[in-house]
Amino acid sequence: MKNKALWISVTVFVLLAVIFAFTDWQISQALYDPESGWAHFLEGYGQLPGSFLGFLSGSILLRTYRVEKNTKSILGVIGLFLLTAFAGLGFFGDAFGLQTGAEVNFAVVIGVAILTLILGQVILRRFPLETVSQYKNAAKVGLTLMFVAGFVTVWAIKIPWGRWTYRDILDAGNTALFTPWYLPQGNNGHHSFISGHTALSFVVIGFILFLKKGSNARNILLPVLLLWGIVGALSRVVIGAHFASDTLFGAGQTLLWFWFLKNKFVQ
């Protein structure tokens, strides 16, 4: 059953990739609405749940980390702290309006992130280590998924692909700048392919691992999280920040990483 679902997902992905190769421009023409309030809201704040997953996961891993008196262990906890703090910066930076163009005091963002991280450790230490450790493997997936799918993979593809966004093409007044998703243009400063916002929107799927497998709560939450990702992807097309294929591949690589990490860390 699992293999069947996997192959169905892969087939749907491939079909959409082929369809979008020929319809990206027409889809953007049909959906483009630069004044869309809900799409702009998600542009500013839609990455918050994904960043929070990374922050929560990192906090759990810090609580369960056993520091030993050797260089490897000490460097490990320092690295984990920095990754968790970075996730916190991403969360609170967006919460303070960084993605909306608001003037953000980075000192305040850093301070709030560090204080919240410390407060989180205080709260987590009120629970027995055995209780928190139940979520350790889920946290490994959550933190890794946020960074690898939400940032590393996205920018490893964005930078060399050099695809123009729909709205940038309209601003330039030259439709010849449009290129299909399968033709990389090199590092030219344009980063439409793939969609980072969509990637982080789908990162939230990691939350289901904190719930018992087969539980009603998990079965209900899964479609809700997938819907969140789909709405986030749609919002990127509506405001012209990405083409449909950009969001497809942003979502696809996140779900692929989730599948791999879940199989690696969670039984």
Tell me if residue 41 falls in helix, strand or coil: helix
Q: Residue 131 belongs to what domain range?
A: 25-265
Q: Does 12 fall in a domain?
A: no
Residue 39 to residue 237: CA distance in whole angstroms: 9
Tell me what the mean pLDDT of segment 223-228 comes to. Answer: 98
Q: How confident is the model at residue 101 (pLDDT cuts 50, 70, 90)?
A: confident
Q: Does 17 fall in a domain?
A: no
Q: Does 19 fall in a domain?
A: no
Q: Does 214 fall in a domain?
A: yes
Residue 203 to residue 207: CA distance in whole angstroms: 8
Q: Does 207 fall in a domain?
A: yes
Q: Does 176 fall in a domain?
A: yes
Q: Does 15 fall in a domain?
A: no
pLDDT at 2: 65
Q: Reply yes or no on whether the pLDDT at 127 is more than 90.
A: yes
Contact yes or no for 241/165 (Cβ under 8 A)? yes
Selection from 182, 166, 232, 227 nearest residue 27 by Cα: 166
Contact yes or no for 245/182 (Cβ under 8 A)? no
Q: How many domains does the chain have?
A: 1
Q: Reply yes or no on whether the pLDDT at 3 is more than 90.
A: no
Q: Does 179 fall in a domain?
A: yes
Tell me what the mean pLDDT of segment 109-133 comes to. Answer: 96
Residue 14 to residue 211: CA distance in whole angstroms: 31
The verdict on whether omega for the bond into residue 110 sits within 30 degrees of 0, i.e. cis, is no
Residue 125 to residue 87: CA distance in whole angstroms: 20
The model scores a pTM over 0.85: yes
